[in-house]
Amino acid sequence: MKHLVASSILGVFFLTPSLAIMNTHFNHPLDGSVGTQIIHISAFQGMVSIRDNNVFSEWDGILTYKNALLVAKLFNKMACVLAKMDQPVFPSLDDISKALDKQAFKHYPSTRGLTYTVLSSRVKNLAQYGMPIKNMYRYEPTYFARQQKEGTALAIDPDSCFEIQLLSFMGLFICGEIPGL
């Protein structure tokens, strides 16, 4: 009986920190803007979900590290985009968790300047990308987007770009006309 109690106590002692890392919520004020970001990190699912309620550029997003996908609902465009993440460029789940500590912001390189171009092809079956994506984006038209290679010129009107900011070290641009709007 002593061994059972001792192993239970040890199990709780070692399991509790790992459970704390599995699901984490943060409410982060955005620098220089009107709004906040609510960030939910699920290490178990390999996913980060973001709710950005900036009045000038409101968006929701999911980063799925297991599938290397970025999905964003752009409220002012009334549409969603789905793109492959360039994982070496994106911060890891652990990096995002650490960066939420204000002292750690300075230690992460900026990814500003990543640009995605919206393609005319529409995503037909969101379920193939997982239930969180299907449930969050099923009522909005969703389009594929492709990351532009660094140094390639864009023949796109810069006014058609939507900036997505994740914390202060990650900024992405989604550019192009969304078909049907």
DSSP string, 44-81: TTTEEEEEE--TTS-EEEEEETTTTEEEEEEGGGTEEE
Residue range 102-139, pLDDT digits in tens: 645 554 555 556 889 999 989 999 999 989 899 888 88
| Per-residue confidence (pLDDT) for residue 138, from 0 to 100 | 86
What are the beta bridge partners of residue 66?
A: none
Domain layout of the chain by residue ranges: 24-175
Interior CA angle at 149 toward 148 and 153, to 5°?
75
Give the pLDDT score at 128.
93
pLDDT tens-digit map of 64-98 = 999 999 999 998 889 999 999 988 888 888 888 77
Residue 162 CB neighbours (<10 A):
21
* Token pair listed for 8: 């239970």
Q: What's the whole-model pTM score?
A: 0.74
Question: Mean pLDDT for the chain?
Answer: 75
Per-residue model confidence as pLDDT tens digits over 148-173 = 876 555 566 667 788 887 766 678 88
